[in-house]
Amino acid sequence: EVQLVQSAAELKKPGESLTISCQASGYSFSSHFTGWVRQMPGKGLEWMGSIYPGDFDARYSPSFQGHVTIAADKSTSTVYLQWRSLKASDTAMYYCVRQVGIAMGGTHFDYWGHGTLVTVSS
Amino acid sequence: QSALTQPASVSGSPGQSITISCTGTSSDVIPYNYVSWYQQHPGKAPKLMIFDVTNRPSGVSNRFSGSKSGNTASLTISGLQAEDEAHYYCSSYTSRSSVVFGKGTKVTVL
């Protein structure tokens, strides 16, 4: 059974750094793109980017390029989403997703984690 | 890249059919048959309902169907049921090898 288990909710202050995680199981981790989708409070879904753990090829949405870093650890089948300096506008639910499909990088998301709520407030 | 265009809300009575539209551009919906649809109930993670325009994942009811014509993809829900009340999001692969979502449609079962 495919599972994406995400880290717990976080409460941080503006300017702080943060890394949240997603541990995958039930499939060949290195052979599938795994990515992140943001959902701000009361808003829609936004694809942030994804990584191919096999060669650590990371792709980002233009809207998030330079603001976050996506990394992977093949030894623990874990994908990470990292911020160097959080802003209040980063407050959102972040979903880990397995991205699949025949086009480069994958075309859709067949499995979703339960979400990690990040709250940034002074 | 701009979000795909969806109606904010659609409603229908139990047993009826409803259709949600999703309009894109020459960079996403038009050139690719890679439109997907997701259902999200309040407080829950989204669930894949349709991929590659018309395909249903295993376990998804055949009351859900997808289509595409030109720059507009559509999700049709037949035999509307109370449990179908949720937000629905379309997405498309893009020419930048990325994925763009629509802003979502709230489906209300009257």
Query: Consecutive sets of 10 residues in chain B, 110 residues long: mean pLDDT of each?
Result: 93 97 95 96 97 96 97 98 98 93 97
Q: Inform me whether the pLDDT recorded for A67 exceeds 90.
A: yes
Cβ within 8 Å, pair A107-B100: no
| Facing A103 at nearest CB: one of B34, B48, B91 | B34
Q: Which residues contact B59 (CB under 8 A, 6 or more apart)?
A: none
pLDDT attached to residue B80: 98
| Facing B45 at nearest CB: one of A63, A103, A114 | A114
Mutation for B interface: A37, A45, A109, A116, most B CBs within 10 A? A45
Q: Inform me whether the pLDDT recorded for A115 exceeds 80.
A: yes
d(CA B18, CA B78): 7
- Interface residues of chain B, partner chain A, Cβ below 8 Å: 1, 3, 32, 34, 36, 38, 40, 45-48, 51-52, 57, 89, 91, 93, 96-104
| Facing B36 at nearest CB: one of A37, A63, A108 | A108
Spell out the long-range contacts of A75-78 with Cβ–Cβ below 8 A and sequence spacing 24 or more: A76/A23, A77/A23, A77/A24, A77/A25, A77/A29, A77/A53, A78/A21, A78/A22, A78/A23, A78/A24
Kindly report, residue by residue over A51-64, the tens digit of the pLDDT: 999 999 999 999 99
For chain A, what is the mean pLDDT? 95
Side-chain-side CA neighbours of residue A72 (13 Å): 23
Cβ within 8 Å, pair B36-A105: no
- Min Cα separation B45/chain A (Å): 6
Q: Inform me whether the pLDDT recorded for A101 exceeds 90.
A: no
pLDDT attached to residue B91: 97
Q: Inform me whether the pLDDT recorded for A45 exceeds 90.
A: yes
Q: Inform me whether the pLDDT recorded for A102 exceeds 80.
A: no
Identify which of B33, B50, B32 has the alpha carbon closest to the alpha carbon of residue B88.
B50
pLDDT attached to residue A13: 98
DSSP annotation of A27? S
Query: How would residue A50 be classed by pLDDT, with cut points 50, 70 and 90?
Result: very high
B49 contacts B91 by C-beta, under 8 angstroms: no
pLDDT attached to residue B23: 98
Cβ within 8 Å, pair A107-B93: yes
pLDDT attached to residue B100: 95
Q: Beta B105-109 vs B9-12: how paired, if at all?
A: parallel
B37 contacts B89 by C-beta, under 8 angstroms: yes
Instruction: Please list the alpha-helical segments (H only) found in chain B.
Output: none
d(CA B105, CA A14): 32
For B83, phi then psi, to 5°, come to -70, -10
Q: Inform me whether the pLDDT recorded for A98 exceeds 90.
A: yes
- Min Cα separation A47/chain B (Å): 6
- In chain A, residues with a C-beta closer than 8 Å to the C-beta of B36 are 107-109
d(CA B22, CA B57): 20
Measure Cα distances from A120 to A22, A42, A70, A88 in Å: 20, 16, 19, 5
Which tokens in the block code for residue A93?
Answer: 């639910």
Q: Which residue(s) pair with A118 in the sheet?
A: A10, A92
- What integer is the mean pLDDT of A96-104? 87
